[in-house]
Amino acid sequence: MGKKMLALTGAHAVAEAMRQINPGVVSIFPITPQTPIVEKFSEFYANGLVDTELIRAESEHSAMSIAIGAEAAGVRAMTATSSQGLAFMWEVVSTAVGLRLPIVMSVVNRYVGAPINIHCDHSDSMYCRDLGWIQIFCETNQECYENTLLAVRLAEKVNLPVMVLQDGFITSHCVENVEILEDKLAKDFLGEYKPKFSLLDTDKPVAIGPIELQDYLFETQYQAVESSMQVIYEYSKIGKELSSITNNKYDIFESYELDDADAVIIVSSSTAGTVKSVIDRMRKENKKVGLLKIKLYRPFPYKEIAEALNKLNSKHFAVMDRAISKGALPPLYTDILSSCFMLSKRPKIQSIVFGLGGREITEKEIENIFNNLLNNKINENEIEYVGLRK
Amino acid sequence: MITIKDLALKIKNQESLISGGRWCAGCSFPPIIRTVLAAKGDNDVIVTNATGCLEVTSTIYPYNAWGIPYMHNAFENSAPTLNGIEEAYNYLKKDNVKSELKDKIKNKNIKFVAFSGDGGTYDIGLQALSGAMERGHDFLYVCYDNGAYMNTGNQRSSATPFGASSSTSPDGKVHHGKEEQRKDLIKIALAHNIKYVAQASVYNLVDLYNKAEKVFAINGPKLILVFSPCIANWQFQEGEAISVAKLATETNFWPLFEVENGKYKINFKPAERKPIEEFLKMQNRFRHLFKDKEGREIIKKIQENIDIEWQKLLDLENFTNK
């Protein structure tokens, strides 16, 4: 009831969500592998399926600047990007947070930098993980669709912008069945946007983006920190509401065959799906393996993850990063280490880096990772680069 | 046509940019902004502003000199930020759209104005401005041109005049100030085939007012480039900004003209153009040109270039009005 099944790529699943959100302004600039999102939305626009003002900007920097202006004017504004595009708009990505504007942006993860590469890793969003945007990783096309809807409500509740992240090509260009809500159900869930202020309300003029110096900036920053601390609670609360119409779950992270596991992989995004498939097979061989899938990545649920890990049988984990922090430990690994610092008994953790620039990760490689954990082959002093030719 | 007395009253009574800002005494941009906004008529105006002197002196939190909605985003994006605001307005005006905010604006005519310096316009903001003009948004872009990055202490921009010294094009033993000609922003704007582009100056506020009043009635992108002498970094005597600006026009260094639907109109033609030395000698940034033969050669080139450009302008006026 109230749903229909469509065969959609991850990119088109986001575009469907955007059609239902029907934002006031969508500002776009093409970049692989995000482009099919804005192409699909442009089709919706061309066919009169949305009321949106669609602005074809001359760069990602301007696309985000337009979204910022539109949100400050009090309407929902969205954009989408990847990789170099996210890097190019970085300056105003930080502005969106500083001005507390609830923009929702779909980021299709792709390697950023040189040599140029169009395929998936998480370096683009990892390089701006500490700006204050909420970041939600999606495993499936269904999650891409639903998290985009959820993100709008979450952003507006806490006045922080949200990035909804999916894997370039692997998710964005591959077709899955996606259950799309009836438009009315989606619209009822989204509700009418009631901005706290608007530049267009000329009877109550506001000045947005003033210069703040030593005497005020610290406090303004702290306000954003305080809002960020509400995200986990609000995410779960809004997730429950969405759950009542989709029957899917919106936990801040996902546990898969975790409770009795002797070996656990911690990973986000499409790779979690591959890990699940390996788990299903290994479980048939009576190997107790499990997955903790990262969904809400920023703000990072340190305490909640520590509590979950503490309850487990297993004290052997592998943390799989699809990005490197050059000159430092990998980003997700670092976050999990910080979580584990809260535990009385420290687990043994293998840091794994994989899949840079779209390098394939196979079920066999994942099975090896599990077997190494089960056999206590863990080197805590070294990062293991899976799939790297040496 | 407004009289200077009526304009003075209008500026005095405006509440868009109030007094008490932290700009330098004798700064040129407050009268420019007040004059433009005094021409808004019954419209409401929303302003965006690039990072720069105007932004930092009018908004130091918790103080705010703006009586109308104002937004600063970053250095290079006053145009697209403004476009986003305007498109939100266009969205809300659609019949289909219903919201509380829509009810608040339904009886209003809102106009959208960006104010930026030359750094945010000629240099770092040029691509964003070009995109905004090409897309055809309904907005007025006003560049107050003081010929360098003045907020950070007088670094050369592509609007810095040939021969001027700045902190990054200083006069030295080998190099003698800026060695390149200014970028022609007016021609760049015109290349977007927009309906109205004008050059104005702080010394002639009636002319600026007339131009601003005209553009508030024109739909689409409009650009006004306004000469804005900088007391801190051009280094003339306090209270001389207007005299310096007047000489810039009387020497044909900064002609007042407008281009409406492709037709040029020169708003002021000096009966006898004054030699450029009169303009240059008032400012410390050109002082090095007067000390030796090399400097005098540069002055000669400046003069030659001015005369060539003026003739081109006359020709364009002739040609486009045939």
Do domains A3-246 and A253-386 share one topology? The answer is yes
Q: Would you tell me how many other CB atoms lie within 10 Å of the CB of residue B42?
A: 7
Angle in degrees, CA A20, B90, B37, rounded to 5 = 145
| Alpha helix segments (H runs only) across A99-216 | 123-126, 141-158, 183-190
Of A62, A99, A202, the CB nearest to B77: A62
Q: Do B97 and A51 touch (CB under 8 A)?
A: yes
Domains present along chain B, CATH in parentheses: 4-320 (3.40.50.970)
Q: Which helix (H) or strand (E) holds B41?
A: none
DSSP state of A112: -
| Cα distances (angstroms) measured from residue B83 to each of A126, A367, B54, B87, B245 | 30, 52, 20, 6, 31
Q: Do B87 and A70 touch (CB under 8 A)?
A: yes
Q: Give domain A3-246's CATH architecture.
A: 3-Layer(aba) Sandwich (3.40)
The number of residues making up chain A comes to 390
Q: Would you tell me how many other CB atoms lie within 10 Å of the CB of residue B136?
A: 15
What does CATH list as the number for A253-386? 3.40.50.920
> How many angstroms away from the CA of A47 is the closest CA of chain B?
15
A313: β partners? none
Give the C-alpha separation, A225 to A221, whole Å. Answer: 6
A289: β partners? A263
Q: What is the DSSP string of A190-203?
A: H-----S--TT-TT
Helix axis angle for B78-92 and B126-135, nearest 10°, is 30
Give the C-alpha separation, A135 to A142, whole Å. Answer: 17
pLDDT tens track for A161-194: 999 999 999 999 999 999 999 999 999 999 999 9
Q: Is A214 on the interface with B (CB under 8 A)?
A: no
Q: Is A213 on the interface with B (CB under 8 A)?
A: yes
pLDDT in tens, chain B (322 residues): 899 999 999 999 999 999 989 999 999 999 999 999 999 999 999 999 999 999 999 999 999 999 999 999 999 999 999 999 999 999 999 999 999 999 999 899 999 999 999 999 999 999 999 999 999 999 999 999 999 999 999 999 999 999 999 999 999 999 999 999 999 999 999 999 999 999 999 999 999 999 999 999 999 999 999 999 999 999 998 889 999 999 999 999 999 999 999 999 999 999 999 999 999 999 999 999 999 999 999 999 999 999 999 999 999 999 999 9
Give the C-alpha separation, A81 to A88, whole Å. Answer: 10
Of A67, A201, A205, the CB nearest to B84: A67
Q: Is B104 on the interface with A (CB under 8 A)?
A: yes
What mean pLDDT is predicted for residues A267-278? 98
> How many angstroms away from the CA of A258 is the closest CA of chain B?
46
DSSP SS3 for B5: helix
Q: Is B23 on the interface with A (CB under 8 A)?
A: no
Contacts of A194 in chain B (CB under 8 A): 99-101
* Structural contact between residues A187 and A20, judged by C-beta atoms closer than 8 angstroms: yes
Q: Do B71 and A53 touch (CB under 8 A)?
A: no
Of A66, A194, A208, the CB nearest to B80: A66
Q: Would you tell me how many other CB atoms lie within 10 Å of the CB of residue A183?
A: 13
Chain A to chain B Cβ contacts (< 8 Å):
176
Maximum pairwise Cα distance, chain A: 70
Contacts of B69 in chain A (CB under 8 A): 199-202, 205-207
Give the C-alpha separation, B67 to B176, whole Å. Answer: 44
Contacts of B133 in chain A (CB under 8 A): none
DSSP state of A366: H
Q: Is B109 on the interface with A (CB under 8 A)?
A: no
Q: Is A228 on the interface with B (CB under 8 A)?
A: no
DSSP state of B181: P
Residue-range domain boundaries for chain A: 3-246, 253-386
Residue A1: pLDDT above 70? Answer: no
Residues 6+ apart with CB under 8 A from A357: A111, A117, A119, A121
Q: Is B5 on the interface with A (CB under 8 A)?
A: no
Tokens 């390149």, located at residue = B180
Of B77, B85, B96, the CB nearest to A199: B85
Q: Is B21 on the interface with A (CB under 8 A)?
A: no
Residue A2's pLDDT is 82
Chain A residues 121-180 within an 8 A CB cutoff of chain B: none
Q: Do B72 and A208 touch (CB under 8 A)?
A: yes
| Alpha helix segments (H runs only) across chain B | 4-13, 29-38, 53-58, 78-92, 100-105, 118, 126-135, 185-190, 205-216, 241-250, 276-280, 293-320
Of B73, B110, B132, the CB nearest to A95: B73
Tokens 């659609």, located at residue = B94
Residue B174's pLDDT is 95
Q: Is A90 on the interface with B (CB under 8 A)?
A: no
Q: Is A30 on the interface with B (CB under 8 A)?
A: no
